[in-house]
Structure 1
Amino acid sequence: MNNKYSIADKYFILWAFFIPISSWVIDPTIKGSLISYLLAFLSPLIIICFQKNIAKKYFLDMIEIILVLLLFALISQLANAIYNISLYGTLLVNPGDFDNKIFRNSLITQNMYLIPVILTFLYVKYLYKPSWDKWIIYGGLVFVLYGFYKWLGFLITGADIDFLTNRTFGDSDTVLYQYQGIMLAGMSLQRFQSLTGEPSMFAFTMLPYFIFAIHRKANNIIIIIMGLSILLSVSSTAYLGLVIYVVYMTLISKKKKNFFYLIIGLIVSCLILYMIFSEYIDVIMDMVIFNKMDSVSGMTRSNDFWGDINYFMELDIMHSLFGIGFGYIRSSNLFTTLLVNTGIIGVLSFSYFYLKDFSLKAQNFIKQGNNSIILVLFVISMVAVPEFSYLSFWIFLAISKNNNIRQY
């Protein structure tokens, strides 16, 4: 392999260290001023100046994606003009104005968040090389190590020692920091979140890095550190993702017998650990699973889901097919968010685009890892995470669509 890095390679290597970060911005007054976004906005210059051979395909792809998004936006706004819909009772991104139904401000702002997503996706799709793998992993590792700095700092001092998080949210100037702790053996522990501001979003970000590291056969210490951080998030999102990964790998493995023995071994080990540490495990299980069923958060998620479904069922045919407008509502899951915003055609189009390269018959360990990441991210986003603008959600999809990977 040629280890000489081009300008485009070096640019991505720098970029890779900022892609996982979502709570540290350049200017706190500009909520979307992530360093990874800035690098995304500048990336077309790299294509124009140093990658002219792929520039035509790159920009044609970009135009095609933008035209599809524009088509959805125009049809939904036409439907809003024709039909008298009500926005009351919906989870609007900008809840202050329920009467404005055409070209709401959030239609513009939320589509703007798609720009760095598109630019990142296309850059990786066309320029990815296997030599980038270690830098993607190192980017995830630095992200995790800062999380351990925060986690251990809180354990030792009892205070948040994060000096980087500065992103605000909503219409306030409140920094995006949500302390979520757990009492274990008389100690107050902070749930792992690193530079995301929220444990479930950390799990959503780190799961693909963890799987990627396993299937790129990274150093075992790196894999263990990443895996431990996911467990310390004490997030149902994390555990759901891990279960999906294990089940998928079991189903496609040619050595199902070995995987069967592995699962049995894990179950036995878990039972033994439970007998020894049952008091502590009960606390974690209550927080992650049982208490969530009756918690305000759990009830809110359930109410949001069924509220969105009921709202969608009352829409006219045009809105049912194309939605009321991308960026209008933001629910607690991506499925109903897309369903109301972009309609049935939008959900089907997104699902096809994201799952197009997924296969149950991956022939090698690398492709199995790519498929695992696609499946895990798709499922947990649809059921538990409404975010579409996290760049980690898209770089791994882009890698699976890259020609260098398809040749494996």
Structure 2
Amino acid sequence: MTKYTLTYFDVEALGEPIRMLLSYGNLEFTDNRIDYEKDWAKFKSEMPMGQVPILEADGKVMYQSLAISRYLARLVGLYGANPLEDYEIDNAVDNINDFRAKLAGAQYEANAVAKEEKFKLLKSETIPYFLEKLDAIAAENDGHFALKKFTWADVYFTGLSNYLSFMAQEDITANYPNLKKVIDNTVATPGIKEWVEKRPTPKFTAFQSKSSKIMSSYKVYYFNYRARAEAIRFLLSYGGIQFEDIRFEEDEWPKFKSTMPFGKVPVLEIDGERYSHTIAICSYLGEKFNLAGSNEIEKLQIQTAALFIYDLIGIAEDVTFTYKDSLGEENHQKELDKLLTETIPKYLTIFEETVAKNNGYFVNGKLTWADVYFASVSDYFQGLFDWVGIKRDGNVVDNYENLKNLRDKVFEVEGIKSWIAKRPETIA
């Protein structure tokens, strides 16, 4: 009996159609998953062409995901009965793969400005074009992609579907019932059905269709302000994750406090589990949506920028209202004057220089969660001033050209822009 070992990252993506084909054929396999951050560097040099997935069959190493899938499709009887039928199936697969390549070109674009432009084109033209065409093909073939029957083209699309939705930043089946039918038919197929029920939870879960796996539930708990929670809302919106925005007034806080980790908010709840602290949550979401840097130094730089932003927020809050009563009116005014004329300008000047040096962003000229975090709190300072009756013309960030431009760019990012347009109006 042939022994199979599939080696790929701990995600669905290009490995999942192969896992599904092996499962459909009842071919036992070892599912060898590589942790990209920890282990890929040492594995890469051992891989043919320096890439995964690879499939080992009794010592024979196969690579290229489409070539592997075609081999398995023939082995398990999901190819055509003649060259013309093979063509019909291959044609569908190649169209799906073209769509994947278009999405990947935007998703993995390193330059933030270019990435934004590519996503605009994706959303306005590419995604609707491909999904309408693919949905029409599925409609013509009674919920399949070729020959009006179950073939490996259906398996290929279903295996990639969560990954395609992740890169598209939307559920690709939401408005396309025939594509959903393809997935429903595939995940109900013996062998594949059992695999889907037992497979590990993948990292790409943001847009999973209900037919393949239940979508995670997200809730954000905070006061009826933007303030410290807005970065979390921004990042969830950037990732296309629907979330319940649970807000409460200050007089309602006592009944919520005992249920929150450490008795503090903001809190992000994921599938019933609650997680606290703005920086920790943003760091997690940044990793999830590829906004956390491409190496350890970049991660350190992002964390550093975010923590200094966090420090400034804490100082501003303490001066404006936390210690207001204990300081007395005269001393409170002195501290406010110092905050306005020394502390805030000091921090913002450093931020301004950092962003200027890094081509318009906090780290290496590309969008990271530190940029999203800064933009989310950029109008919070004026909110704090309003609370204590300080009137200023314009936003304090408007005095810093690079920070203003950064804020404006983040506000125009797909997902974040939509959230800003619909979010509740609050004082800060």
Establish whether TM, by shorter chain, passes 0.5: no
Which protein is richer in helix relative to its size?
A: 1
Larger radius of gyration: 2
Q: TM-score, normalised by structure 2?
A: 0.27
Q: TM-score, normalised by structure 1?
A: 0.28
